[in-house]
Amino acid sequence: MTEKIKTSLRDSTTARWIALALISSTMFFAYFFVDVVAPLQTDLERIYKWTPEVFGMLGGSEFFLNVFAFFLIFSGIILDKMGIRFTLITAGITMVLGAALKFYALTDAFALSAFATWLNSFLTWIPASAKLAFVGFSIFGVGVEMAGITVSKTIVKWFRGKEMALAMGLEMAVARLGVFAVFRLTPIFAENGGPSNSVFMGLAFLCIGFITFFVYTFLDKKLDKQTGEGLEVSPEDEFKFSDIGKIFSNPGFLAIAGLCVLFYSAIFPFQKFATDMLASKLNIEMKEAAAYFSYFPIGAMVLTPFIGYFLDIKGKGATLMLYGAILLTISHLIFALVPAEIFNVPIAIGTIVILGTAFSLVPASMWPSLPKIIEDRYLGSAYGAIFWIQNIGLLAVPMLIGYALSASNPGVSEQIAAGVAGAKYDYTVPEFIFAGFGVAAIILSIVLRIVDKKKGYGLDIPNKKK
């Protein structure tokens, strides 16, 4: 067995990076679809009559089933019980089905259907197109979060003791490239067929992503045959449902989970409103604003692999998380406090770069840290649990921001829907909310450093074994 492990695919540099390229490609397409309508808030309000509250509900709907039906907890258990290959294929199919339903919700065929008429008969302030899109996006959300935790465990499987943080950083970089593509391509797609065409292209990309997941499973199966993993598991190494209690009683896990939900609540919901915020504050067109914001994921994409390499060689994971939380807070305070009269393109891009740096520091440090505090046999469930906690914030915050935006801008939604020239939102209140999450993340980062020193997790120790 020892000889088999020495000569396995995992010890082949080429095989490791091919495996990473395949699963990262799928996450590129998945992240593209997550924010596929983010640059189209005004179009959705004008064409489909989606108010900011409805738009915020769409963002939150991605996480509805994961949170309230506990699908992320189940996803982690499925991953630990059924293995990587089964979970990847299940995730891919679920993403495609949910995306197809969201696309159908924006088509003329649905708008003219009896089903749409029935959906319009209740909760009349929410258009039928939005209601069906909520359902589709929530199904997609089950798949994309299941894919996320499975990809994380897959990288640990191939890169533990090697370039694990670098590999996770590169996977995140490729996913961020998907966000960049959204803000560059979605407005172009919408010019040639409206928002529904943008969603259709996202669906087509997801189908390609399913294929790359499928191809990866052959590599995974070959690796398991070589190492014996997944073939015979001793009773003491099997996942047990009682392990869930061990996860939630682990102080290191709780600290990272809290930091995770606070940090991501100030990033992903912001992405959905950022284009309109920049357009309003700079008084420019949505397409131009989307182009400026596209530099945000590019900055994160470029920096994340370097940070991952630093973590592998030098460590300092807990320290970098603190620095990231500080930068996150600074960026949102700039958006909130700098008056529109002096807020210009250089300030906007500079602030976006600061936010992109924060977006590199925290995730690149956080995800490789979890295997240091959680046993392998229930690592999938731990990733599922932390994503579930994260999803609670990602479900609630977009709706909170949509409500805060409308409440702090009375009458603006009606003006935009009526096509009144010059009507725009003031994002000061939402930006203060995002900054508040950053302040809380700073506090929890300090708590995590204290817990790390007390428990000896080694979060500041390099990942790569010499």
Reported as a single tens digit per residue, the pLDDT across 8-30 is 788 888 999 999 999 999 999 99
8-222+239-455, CATH topology level: Growth Hormone; Chain: A; (1.20.1250)
Mean pLDDT of 131-151: 95
Phi and psi of 340, rounded to 5°? Answer: -60, -30
CA distances from 115 to 8, 120, 126, 141, 423 (A): 54, 9, 15, 23, 34
Top-confidence residue, 213 or 164:
213
pLDDT for the residue numbered 1: 41
Top-confidence residue, 156 or 422:
156
Q: Which two tokens stand for residue 343?
A: 């807020």
Residue 138 sits at the vertex; the CA angle it makes with 135 and 140, to the nearest 5 degrees, is 110
Distance of alpha carbon 255 from alpha carbon 239, whole angstroms: 23
Mean pLDDT of 77-103: 95
Top-confidence residue, 465 or 433:
433
Q: Are 426 and 409 in contact (CB under 8 A)?
A: yes
**pLDDT tens string 448-461:** 999 999 998 999 88
Top-confidence residue, 97 or 415:
97
pLDDT for the residue numbered 233: 47
Distance of alpha carbon 168 from alpha carbon 365, whole angstroms: 9
Tokens 């996150």 label which residue?
A: 328
Name every residue whose Cβ is closer than 8 Å to that of residue 437 and which is 6 or more positions away in sequence.
Answer: 262, 263, 265, 266, 328, 397
pLDDT of 434 > 80? The answer is: yes
Integer-rounded Cα radius of gyration of the chain? 22
**In the chain, where the domains are located:** 8-222+239-455
Residue 297 sits at the vertex; the CA angle it makes with 296 and 298, to the nearest 5 degrees, is 90
Which alpha helices (H) appear in 160-235, and where do they start and end?
Answer: 164-191, 194-227
**pLDDT tens string 332-350:** 999 999 998 999 999 999 9
Nearest to 51 by CA among 420, 349, 405: 405
What share of the chain in percent tops pLDDT 90?
57
pLDDT for the residue numbered 5: 42
pLDDT of 165 > 60? The answer is: yes
Nearest 10 degrees: CA dihedral of 95, 100, 105, 111? -170
Distance of alpha carbon 448 from alpha carbon 179, whole angstroms: 29
**pLDDT mean across residues, the chain:** 89
Distance of alpha carbon 167 from alpha carbon 364, whole angstroms: 10
Q: Which two tokens stand for residue 24?
A: 């990262």
Q: Longest Cα pair distance anywhere in the chain, in angstroms?
A: 73
The Cβ of residue 118 has, within 10 Å, a number of other Cβ atoms equal to 10
**pLDDT tens string 274-301:** 999 999 999 998 889 988 988 887 777 7
Q: Which two tokens stand for residue 77?
A: 């258990």
**pLDDT tens string 303-316:** 888 888 898 888 88
pLDDT of 59 > 50? The answer is: yes
**pLDDT tens string 384-426:** 889 899 989 988 998 899 999 999 999 988 888 787 888 889 9
pLDDT of 380 > 90? The answer is: no
